[in-house]
Structure 1
């Protein structure tokens, strides 16, 4: 069963055209397909438009959020509903009409053939504004470098994935983390790939994203990189930084101690303050790393106890 999850914010006019096209595409690939629109706090009658379609079409569904929570929260709700509905493959698609439902078969094929667990629709030719195209290009290049994940279009909102992938990434779906589904899946051991898809101009309305989205995405990229590398060993990062600062400060203080013994005054030297600060900050980083290790250890023990109780039960 394939579920197509469409997060939407004030896209009533577009959804009236897009949802029937998605149904047609699902019928063309001969699958048991369901369409789920998640209304992310729209004020233009999006829910009313989709609700009317749910009464006409049995495979169209609606989830409504009381207020705008963001795309990640809308996708999280949509993934939850799809998994509860028995989805085997989940497809995510934007509601602005730029993603072509006719390309659905291209995304599903690698998954059906067992070649991939998550497939991204790569937009090689973008139909967006100049600024959006170039910030996206910078974002993709930065993500590829920092996250060490193969790909050309991480920011594409057109993806298909096995249900297991969606289940595993659900805990990370907050903030702008929906952009990093490919990265999270890749580092979780799943096979990821891309298929070139057609990208169309927005059908109606205005884009909901500005430059602030780029900076939020970069901030979340740092978070993702940290979690992927140090989630289970935070002391390796904080302890390493702390030891470098502590040793540097100790060398500085040792040097000042030596020249003090030779009779030179050191009380007015800025180097003394720098050395003391380095030692104190180093100790704080080391202690912070140890506290983080305690938290990780407690979490792992708690998870282990839950698994043991479930096994015994």
Structure 2
């Protein structure tokens, strides 16, 4: 993350905490005081140093002012107020860029995730070097509304199948990461739903563990059944990103060849018929053949353009094409 924010934060590496908790907040005024207290109650007994980054995503209910007030009571609370409502992915990215801990934990601000689960997740990362990301699984969800449970089931199965990262609960915000994994990914749009997939793409080893889940008692849910349709659109993006980001010609060019080949065969067939004296000018097959050839050529050109952009992306920004991990000798 070569940003001014990251450079400023890295300048003070000596006082890095062990754990950074990142929570995006949008109109959660009624929950914030309890949320901050519960995070402190969960982490203070562990002996780990920690910080809590609450990213106010343009709230209109006074959440930002309350966070500023609470920061005066809790020195480990660091509120960040975004200029407007950008969405959960951007809020998380703002938190990731400011997080200084060796381990980074995310959860929602509605008190449905339980901060008391955080120490167990960190302990697993501390003791198991073969795990980079721990994703929470709300095995016993307390959401009673079918409009929330059904879309979640459909989305989890669809995302697991399409991304080839099988998880039971992609929607659970409670996750723990090693710092180096977070530094390899960037979020935009609504890619927060696919963080495990993005993490796997940069080499993370992921496990899923059951966590507690509570019913919402205060505030209003920000999710509805319309989210399912947005997930499908985002899924198209993430599948393309994961499979074809390094080789866009295979995506566009492959589809282009599927159109170009039958289009050329159609035109060849009609050309032979024209040489035999038949009138082909009014045949719909001629229009179909011409359209398939033109579309095929356009897609192949789009793939070549994508290849050039990828080269510029890697060479111009010096972003790595691969990542490595420490190699340790097997235990006797």
Q: Which band: TM-score by shorter chain?
A: over 0.9
1:182 to 170, 187, 196: 196
**Do the aligned partners of 2:22 and 2:96 also contact (CA within 8 Å) in 1?**
yes
Alignment of 1:59-138 (within 5 A): 59-82=76-99, 86-113=100-127, 114-128=129-143, 129-138=145-154
Assess, with a 3 A threshold, how the Cα gap between structure 1 residues 153 and 305 changes in structure 2: closer, same or farther. Answer: closer
Give the corresponding residue for 1:284: 298
1:217 deviation in Å?
1.9
Match of 1:226 in 2: 240
1:147 and 2:163 are equivalent in the alignment: yes
Q: How much does 1:77 deviate?
A: 0.8
Q: Tell me the CA shift for residue 182 of structure 1.
A: 0.4
- Displaced runs of 4 or more, over 6 A: none
Structure 1 gap segments, 5+ residues each: 307-313
> Could you tell me how far apart the structure 1 residues matched to 2:239 and 2:124 are?
27
SS in 1 for 2:234: helix
Query: Aligned partners of 2:193, 2:46: CA distance in 1, in Å?
Result: 27
Match of 1:205, SS state, is coil
Can you list the C-alpha shifts for 1:180-235, whole angstroms capped at 9, x where unaligned? 11011112111111110111001301101223322222211111111111111111
- In structure 1, how many angstroms separate the alpha carbons of the residues matched to 2:119 and 2:319? 43
Could you report, residue by residue, the CA deviation over 1:249-291 in whole angstroms, capped at 9, with x for unpaired residues?
0111111122222332211211110001111111111111111
Normalising by structure 1, we get a TM-score of 0.92
CA distance in 1, matches of 2:150, 2:45: 35
**Alpha-carbon deviations, 1:56-97, whole Å to 9, x = none?**
111111101121111111111111111xxx311111110001
Cα pair distance change 1:100/1:305, threshold 3 Å: closer
Cα deviation, 1:25-74, whole Å, max 9, x if unaligned, reads 01233211111111111111112222222111111111011211111111
In 1, the alpha carbon distance for the partners of 2:47 and 2:168 equals 30
SS in 1 for 2:184: helix
Q: In the alignment, which residue of structure 1 is the partner of 2:67?
A: 50
Q: Does 1:12 align with 2:26?
A: no
Equivalent residue in structure 2 for 1:239, among 242, 247, 253: 253
Contact 1:14 1:203 in 2 (8 A): no
User: What does residue range 243-258 of structure 1 map to in structure 2 within 5 Å?
Assistant: 243-258=257-272
C-alpha displacement at 1:298, in angstroms? 2.0
**Cα distance in 1, alignment partners of residues 273 and 30 from structure 2:** 77
SS of the residue corresponding to residue 22 of structure 2 reads strand
Q: What is the CA distance between 1:304 and its match in structure 2?
A: 4.5
Q: Residues 12-37 of structure 1: CA distance to partner in whole angstroms, max 9, x if unpaired?
A: 11011111011010123321111111
Hey, what does 1:40 align to over in structure 2? 57
Instruction: Give 1:240 shift.
Output: 1.4
Which of 197, 208, 230 is residue 211 of structure 2 equivalent to? 197
Mapped pair 1:169 → 2:185: yes
Cross-structure match for 2:8: none
Normalised to the residue count of structure 2, the TM-score between the two structures is: 0.87
Separation of aligned partners in 2, 1:255 and 1:292: 33
The CA distance in 2 between the partners of 1:205 and 1:32, in whole Å, is 30
Structure 1 or 2: larger helix share? Answer: 1
Answer whether contact 1:106 1:195 (CA < 8 A) is retained: no
